[in-house]
């Protein structure tokens, strides 16, 4: 970018600020400046305006309300002229300003008012009490307002709103924006870009995990540095600044959930994980469709949906990971039917549910004990009793019965020591359902490992458990 204008603090056109929208605008400006090295700020604004108006027909309503581009009174060239006039006046300090500290960059400089026409999800100018001290809007530096103008080019529409993915790893945040910019530029070159980039994915969770998949395979610099990987978290802003219904929904994927997800993509666990996740897609349009695990497709009498299609559907596992809700009930139901590496359950429980490793080791030992009974009928009765448990007391009764059996078998060491019982299986605050579910998952996995087929009746308790977990 050429730097010939004195009234601009160029550093602040691209420097990270912590504000998700402004930072997206900064990355887009940087990208655009590289595309047009001979242009100064106004030249870049002119090029962007040309795209917004001539390629996208001014369809920026999800970002700006009644701006020089979106207000219906301006048509065609008038949109461009008014936009350039506004930014020229802004840069030359010809618009009303006051001296103070920019509320996004923290710099002491000239401040200009921002409303929903030039900033995303600001307050309305119509109502005077949207801002402190009856001010006309947020007070921001011109550099911030310029950056905001570039935001639409770096984001994409997911369902009916715009999605912004922000990470504490600046390279990851940048990657998301640059990917969108590149797709936009390609679309413009081929004449295919007619508005804000649209994702085929139907909800923010799928968009995030889709992005992570791309990111993991493409962004080698980040992924290769294993030490950086463990602390990456994601924030998604799913928003619209449209008309009378501005809205924003925020989602946060914890670094622990990201770490867990990355581990699941490891070749050792990938097949088990992918099979499990694939079986949890759903689409309200196809009510009777079922997942065929062998061919990894969703099908019914008339429809076959392959991965390329169903990956765009909603996925309850991704949704729950994003909302930090437990997925143990789903793992339990899945384990009943299919082998599922218990190591995934261990990683999930220790990383995300903060469970002590000793608890998991004990659960594996107990599952071993159940399977050692050999007689299918006994194993079946044990599973049925465990599935029917409706309280801590009932789970404890089952375990105490096992302890008694173990003792009567003449074993040298106790099945459960007093310490294990009090500190690891039933410490204060433990959720008995979690222990019960883990025991069942452990037992099912052992059955799969030993290739033992036991005809289990469907239990009322299963349905109840599922409902209770969802409501947690």
Partner 1 sequence: MRVFKIDITSWTASFRYPNLISGFQPTLEVPPVSTVLGLINAAAGHYVAHSTLKLGYYFEYQSKAVDLETIYQIGAHKGMPSNHAKSNIIRREFLFEAFLRLYVTSQEVADYFRSPVYPIVLGRMNDLASIAGGVRECSLVPRDHADQLRGQVVPFSKHQLPGQIQALPKYFTDSFPRNNLGVEPYSVIGHGQGVSARLEAFRDEEKEVDVYFHDLSF
| Contacting positions for partner 1 (CB under 8 A) | 16-20, 22, 100-106, 116, 119, 121-136, 138, 166, 168-170, 231-233, 235, 239, 241, 245-250, 252, 254-256, 324, 354
Buried b vs exposed e over 210-226: b needs ≥16 C-beta within 10 Å? Answer: bbbeebeeebeebeeee
Q: Kindly list the distances between the CA atom of residue 251 and the CA atoms of 22, 161, 248, in Å, as whole numbers in the listed order.
A: 19, 14, 10
Residue 256 CB, shortest distance to partner 1, in Å, is: 6
> For residues 21 and 173, what is the distance between their CA atoms, to the nearest angstrom?
11
Handedness of CA 458, 460, 465, 471 (dihedral sign): positive
CA–CA dist 151, 97 (Å, integer): 23
Q: Check if the beta carbon of residue 162 is closer than 8 Å to that of residue 62.
A: yes
Nearest-approach distance from CB 240 to partner 1, in angstroms: 8
Nearest distance in Å: CB 374, partner 1: 42
395's CB contacts (< 8 A; 6+ apart) are 386, 389, 432, 435, 436
- How far is Cα 143 from Cα 102, in angstroms, rounded to an integer? 10
Nearer to partner 1, 7 or 168 (CB): 168
CB of 430 to partner 1, least distance (A): 17
DSSP state of 432: H
Nearer to partner 1, 250 or 454 (CB): 250
Nearer to partner 1, 104 or 439 (CB): 104
- Nearest distance, CB of residue 1 and partner 1, angstroms: 23
Nearer residue to partner 1 within complex by CB, 10 or 130: 130
Smaller CB distance to partner 1: residue 116 or 336?
116
Task: Give the residue from 455, 439, 444, 440 showing the smallest Cα distance to 339.
Answer: 444
Is the CB of 72 or the CB of 127 nearer to partner 1? 127
3-class state of residue 35 by DSSP: helix
Token pair listed for 470 = 């969802």
The nearest distance, CB 100 to partner 1, in angstroms, is 5
Question: Closest CB to partner 1 among 149 and 313?
Answer: 149
Spell out the long-range contacts of 399-402 with Cβ–Cβ below 8 A and sequence spacing 24 or more.
Answer: 399/366, 399/425, 402/366, 402/369, 402/370
Q: Per the structure block, which two tokens stand in for 459?
A: 């239990």
The nearer residue to partner 1, 42 or 248, going by C-beta atoms, is: 248
CB of 140 to partner 1, least distance (A): 9
Considering beta carbons, is residue 104 or 441 the nearer one to partner 1? Answer: 104
CB of 203 to partner 1, least distance (A): 17
Report the length, in residues, of the chain. 472
CB of 149 to partner 1, least distance (A): 16
């Amino acid at each position: 970018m050429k730097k010939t204008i004195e009234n601009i603090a160029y550093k602040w056109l691209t420097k990270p600020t912590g504000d998700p929208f402004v930072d997206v605008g900064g990355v887009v400006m940087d990208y655009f400046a590289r595309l047009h090295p001979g242009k100064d700020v106004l030249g870049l604004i002119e090029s962007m305006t040309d795209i917004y108006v001539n390629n996208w027909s001014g369809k920026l309503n999800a970002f700006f309300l009644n701006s020089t581009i979106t207000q219906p009174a301006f048509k065609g060239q008038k949109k461009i002229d008014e936009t350039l006039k506004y930014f020229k006046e802004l840069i030359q300090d010809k618009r009303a300003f006051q001296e103070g500290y920019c509320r996004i960059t923290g710099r002491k400089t000239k401040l200009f008012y921002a409303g929903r026409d030039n900033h995303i999800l600001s307050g309305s100018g119509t109502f005077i009490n949207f801002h402190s001290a009856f001010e006309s809007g947020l007070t921001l530096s011109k550099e911030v307002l310029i950056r905001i103008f570039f935001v639409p080019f770096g984001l994409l529409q997911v369902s009916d709103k715009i999605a912004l993915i922000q990470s504490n790893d600046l390279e990851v945040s940048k990657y998301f924006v640059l990917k969108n910019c590149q797709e936009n530029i390609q679309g413009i070159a081929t004449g295919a870009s007619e508005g804000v980039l649209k994702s085929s994915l139907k909800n923010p969770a799928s968009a995030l995990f889709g992005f992570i998949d791309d990111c993991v395979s493409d962004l080698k610099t980040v992924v290769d540095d294993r030490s950086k990987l463990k602390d990456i978290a994601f924030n998604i802003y799913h928003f619209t600044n449209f008309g009378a219904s501005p809205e924003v929904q925020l989602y946060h994927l914890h670094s622990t959930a990201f770490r867990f997800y990355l581990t699941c993509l490891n070749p050792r666990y990938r097949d088990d994980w992918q099979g499990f996740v694939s079986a949890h897609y759903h689409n309200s349009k196809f009510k009777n469709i079922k997942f065929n695990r062998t061919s990894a497709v969703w099908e019914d009498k008339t429809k076959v949906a392959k991965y390329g299609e169903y990956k765009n559907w909603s996925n309850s596992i991704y949704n729950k990971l994003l909302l930090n809700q437990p997925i143990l009930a789903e793992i339990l139901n899945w384990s009943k039917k299919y082998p599922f590496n218990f190591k995934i359950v261990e990683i999930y429980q220790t990383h995300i549910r903060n469970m002590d490793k000793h608890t998991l080791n004990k659960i594996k030992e107990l599952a071993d004990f159940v399977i050692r009974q050999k007689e299918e009928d006994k194993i079946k009765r044990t599973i049925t009793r465990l599935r029917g448990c409706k309280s801590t007391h009932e789970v404890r009764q089952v375990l105490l019965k096992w302890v008694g059996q173990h003792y009567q078998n003449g074993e040298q060491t106790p099945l459960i020591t007093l310490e294990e019982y009090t500190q690891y299986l039933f410490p204060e605050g433990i959720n008995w359902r979690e222990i019960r579910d883990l025991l069942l998952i452990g037992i099912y996995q052992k059955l799969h490992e030993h290739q033992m087929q036991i005809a289990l009746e469907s239990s009322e308790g299963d349905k109840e458990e599922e409902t209770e977990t969802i409501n947690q």
